[in-house]
Each structure stands twice: as C-alpha cells, then as structure tokens.
C-alpha cells in the first residue's frame, strides 16, 4: 500500500481520493463507537466479552505484523502472552501492588516480551519456514513445561490476582480502555509499518527472500525486528488478561488453541492486510464466546472451530478483505466499462487500486 494514486502513467503523491475520505470517516466512526461502547452497553457480561475481543484484536494485529507481512507463520506467540501474564502476576505479588498500580506493569510486560523475542527470534529465524513454525511450537511447549515446573510460577495451580477495589458498576471499564488503547496502538503501528520501507522489505522477504537478500535487504535484521515488535503487544495483553480474570495457570496462559485462533483470525480477515486481523478477531472471538455460552457442556466448539478453520482456509484462502476487495473492484470495473465515458484505465490497476485502499 503505497498510499499514492497512479493515473495515466505518472505518480501524483498526496492526492486524496474519495475512497480515502470514506475510509477515514469509517475509521473515525468505528473509533468513536468503540470509545463510547462501555458507556452505552453497561451490562458487565457484554463489556467482558468486549475486553476479550479487544485482547484478541491486539494479538491478531501484532501477530499479523510479523507473520502476515513476512510469511513466517509463528504458532508460538502464546509464549509472549503467557510470559506477560506470569510476569505481571509475579511482579504484583513481589512488589505488593494493588488496584490501578498493576496497570503500570503492562509496559514492562511488553518490554519483557520483546526481550524474550530476541533470543527466540535469533534462534528460530535462521531456518526455513516449515522448520520455523515447528520451532515456535517447540519453544512454546518449553515455556509451558517451565511454567508447570517452577515454584515461582505456582506450578499447576498458577498465580492468583489480589482482589481489586474498583467500583462494581464500572469495574470493567479500566480494563476495556486499556485493551482498546493497546489494540488501537498496535493497529496503528501495523499500518505505519506496512507503508514504510521496513514493511516493503518484510513483504519482499515474504515473496522471495533470496532475491530480496540479493538486492541488499538485511533479512535477519528485518525479520527479527518485526518479530520483536510483534511480541510487545501480545505480552501486554497477556498481563492485562491475567489481572482481569485474576488467574493464570500453565494451561491457560500457554494455551495452544489461542495461537491457532489468532492465525485463523488473521487468515479469515486477510493475512498481510492491516484491517484483516481486526475483522477476523471481531468475527471470531465474539462468535467463540457466544458458542461457549450456548453449548454448555462438551467439546463441541472444538469441532466447530476446526471445521470453521478448514472452511476458511479452503474456501477463502486469501481471507475476506482481499477477496471482497477484488470482488468490489471487479464490479466497479464492469460498471465502469459498461457506463458512459469509461476511463482509460487498465483493469489491473483498478482492481489493485481498490485492493490497495482496503488492504
């Protein structure tokens, strides 16, 4: 997404097309809605679900900034989530923090996530893509195993959070706004990265790493930077999540299903696009929560998850947003060609132009 429009063979930077204006308005409206949400929908059950959803929006957006752009699929980001959760828990207990003080730990949790990502990335990013995924899975299990076995992490029972003295009526609100802040921030940086030189390099690596290297792209440095960046928001929401549900244990802090879910969200919405993971999370997480509450007993929703996943992968391999973009672009194309005064634009440009705007 280079952000400039091309017409008739010259590049005019800075022209604001009608599409961009509608897009900005839509984003502004969405943000306004999100900010007003807990004040309008005060039912705690609803805001609780919203918090979970925002956590996954942040996670999916962060994950996509690395895996979507670079093409290296990580199934180990739960490492950062769990580490963030455990760190926040341990620090809260060790430093005797209470109430809102705990929230100040979140940036530190994010920092920890980034720090862990450095050796993790240095180790895992040296190999080919298949091996990379498997290594992320292996490292994930190492962390889970460690959580089970260390005394400081509370072993199998995990670590509880101290009772919080927020007002009952607006209890969820601080959590909500922090989650919203992290999510918005992550999406914003993800967008900035995509249109930047750094993002260009990442995407070149995804398309043809050897060729990119041959053109001077410092592949390892680029991949590692993206990996480290993607770890920070995930660790932060991990810490927030612990404080919110007041408990972390090895199986929930390091839950492999989360990694799968996040990948699914990004794929569904459109891997490698900015808004794709957001859309995916907004669709999948509330659906999951809804199903979980409806189907009270049994593991039915596991099966459902898996089936949904298969359907998405096989039917919509590029995800909703790119497919929708192309569909809209094709329709506009047809209308334009059929209508009077058709512009002198090759079809390919129009499709991708629209795809650019939405991507």
Q: Of 185-204, which residues contact other proteins (CB under 8 A)? A: 189, 192-193, 195-201, 203-204
Burial class (CB in 10 A: 0-12, 13-18, 19+), 269: buried
CB nearer other proteins, residue 99 or residue 306:
306
Torsion angles phi and psi, residue 5, rounded to 5: -100, 150
- Residues of span 253-312 touching other proteins by CB under 8 A: 256-257, 260, 263-264, 267, 271-272, 298-307, 309-310
Of 131, 157, 165, 246, the one binding other proteins (CB under 8 A) is 131
Inter-axis angle of helices 219-245 and 78-94, nearest 10:
50
C-alpha 346 chain-centroid distance: 35
| Least Cβ distance, residue 70 to other proteins (angstroms) | 11
| Least Cβ distance, residue 129 to other proteins (angstroms) | 6
Of 17, 39, 208, 334, the one binding other proteins (CB under 8 A) is 208
- Residues of span 47-86 touching other proteins by CB under 8 A: 71, 73, 75
Are 4 and 13 in contact, with CB atoms under 8 Å apart?
yes
CB nearer other proteins, residue 29 or residue 257:
257
Q: How is residue 246 written in tokens? A: 């007041």
Q: Candidates 20-28, 130-138, 169-177, 279-287: pick the segment binding other proteins (CB under 8 A).
A: 130-138
- Our finding on whether 217 is near other proteins (CB under 8 A) is yes
- Residues of span 139-158 touching other proteins by CB under 8 A: 139, 141-142, 145-146, 149
CB nearer other proteins, residue 24 or residue 215:
215
Are 261 and 56 in contact, with CB atoms under 8 Å apart?
yes
Are 129 and 250 in contact, with CB atoms under 8 Å apart?
no
| Least Cβ distance, residue 34 to other proteins (angstroms) | 24
Are 59 and 81 in contact, with CB atoms under 8 Å apart?
yes
CB nearer other proteins, residue 57 or residue 194:
194
Are 284 and 268 in contact, with CB atoms under 8 Å apart?
yes
Are 81 and 234 in contact, with CB atoms under 8 Å apart?
yes
Task: List the one residue out of 88, 27, 82 whose CA is nearest residue 59.
Answer: 82
Task: Count the site residues for other proteins by CB under 8 A.
Answer: 90
């Amino acid at each position: 997404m280079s952000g400039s429009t091309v017409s008739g063979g010259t590049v005019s930077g800075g022209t604001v097309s009608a599409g961009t204006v509608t897009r900005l308005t839509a984003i502004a409206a969405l943000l306004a809605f999100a900010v007003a949400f807990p004040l309008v929908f005060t039912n705690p059950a609803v805001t609780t679900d919203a918090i979970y959803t925002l956590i996954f929006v942040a996670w999916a957006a962060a994950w996509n900034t690395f895996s979507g752009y670079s093409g290296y699929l990580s199934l180990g980001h739960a490492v950062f989530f769990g580490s963030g959760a455990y760190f926040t828990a341990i620090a809260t207990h060790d430093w005797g923090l209470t109430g809102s003080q705990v929230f100040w730990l979140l940036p530190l949790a994010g920092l920890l996530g980034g720090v862990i990502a450095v050796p993790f990335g240095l180790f895992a990013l040296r190999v080919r893509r298949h091996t990379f995924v498997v290594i992320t899975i292996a490292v994930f299990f190492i962390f889970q195993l460690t959580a089970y076995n260390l005394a400081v992490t509370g072993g199998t029972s995990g670590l509880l959070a101290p009772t919080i003295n927020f007002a009952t009526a607006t209890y969820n609100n601080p959590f909500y706004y922090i989650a919203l802040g992290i999510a918005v921030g992550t999406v914003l940086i993800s967008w900035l990265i995509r249109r930047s030189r750094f993002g260009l390099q990442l995407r070149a690596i995804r398309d043809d790493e050897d060729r990119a290297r041959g053109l001077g792209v410092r592949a390892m440095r680029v991949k590692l930077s993206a990996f480290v960046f993607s770890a920070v928001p995930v660790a932060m929401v991990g810490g927030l999540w612990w404080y919110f549900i007041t408990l972390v244990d090895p199986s929930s802090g390091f839950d492999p299903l989360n990694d799968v879910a996040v990948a699914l969200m990004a794929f569904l919405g459109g891997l490698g696009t900015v808004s794709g993971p957001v859309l995916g999370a907004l669709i999948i997480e509330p659906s999951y929560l809804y199903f979980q509450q409806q189907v009270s007993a049994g593991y039915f929703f596991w099966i459902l998850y898996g089936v949904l996943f298969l359907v998405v992968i096989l039917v919509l391999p590029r995800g909703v947003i790119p497919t929708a973009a192309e569909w809209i672009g094709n329709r506009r194309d047809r209308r334009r060609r059929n209508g009077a005064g058709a512009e002198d634009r090759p079809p390919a440009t129009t499709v991708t132009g629209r795809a650019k705007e939405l991507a």
